[in-house]
Amino acid sequence: MSKTMRWILPGLLLGLVACGQRPSVEATVLRFTDVEPQSQPTPVRMIITADFLRIDDGTDAKTFVLYSRKERIIYNVSDQDRMVLAIPAGTVPAKPPAQLTHSVEERPESVPTIAGHTVRRFLLKTNGKVCYDVYAAGNLLPGAVTALREFINALASDQTQSSPRMPRELLTPCYLANNIHAPARYLDHGFPVRRAEPDGRVSELNDYQPSVRVDPALFVLPADLKRTNIRELRTR
């Protein structure tokens, strides 16, 4: 087990067991429905703690994504492939390969509030094209917004390494903005309760629990799966 995963003090763990209590950690739990083009809607659960962000299908299965906020490493865990792929965060080049001009257009709409937080609609554009259509609840779940921003920026650094291998026609201004050079901008106006992209991808918040106790085992990498690093794969 890695150093990061040994984040529960053994003495505390033994003390809880001795008292007959299951160890737990405080978390924010978010539940979404994601829709990919020409695909059926899929459930997505995010569990956020001070140290981790876990993304899965709503079950405690061995296939999930785990982001270590302290290590800044994304772990892609696949039970089907019997593998844990580590994706360390790097840096994103300050200058994009093409000129990118970003703008925001707010659309006045009558949208119900969420837990007293006003929801507003924003069109996020790059070079005049709409790249995100976002409904954001101002000041809702600020801790979750911070964690998502960390994860998205870490993912963007990996996309930086992948993009040179992509066909040039796919590297549109929206792709470069959304995935590399301005990936977290849809979080700038509050928590995104609905986010849509021009290609048909949609993510919509269904429910959230701002403070619940969860099993810390959810943030432990399976010991029986092979470990590899994305950098090793790229050098082969």
Q: Terminus-to-terminus CA distance in the chain, angstroms?
A: 26
Tell me what pLDDT residue 236 has: 66
**Which amino acid is located at 35 in the chain?**
V
Tell me which residue of 144, 186, 163 sits closest to 234, measured CA to CA. 163
What letter would DSSP give residue 218?
A: G
How many CA atoms does the CB half-sphere of 14 hold within 13 Å? 3
- Residue 176, SS3? helix
Looking at the DSSP bridge assignments, the partners of residue 114 are 117
At 56 the pLDDT is 97
Would you state the pLDDT for residue 193? 97
**Regions of the chain with pLDDT less than 70:** 1-21, 164, 236
- What is the pLDDT at residue 4? 36
Q: Is 0.95 surpassed by the pTM of this model? A: no
Polymer length in residues for the chain: 236
- The predicted pLDDT at position 163 comes to 73
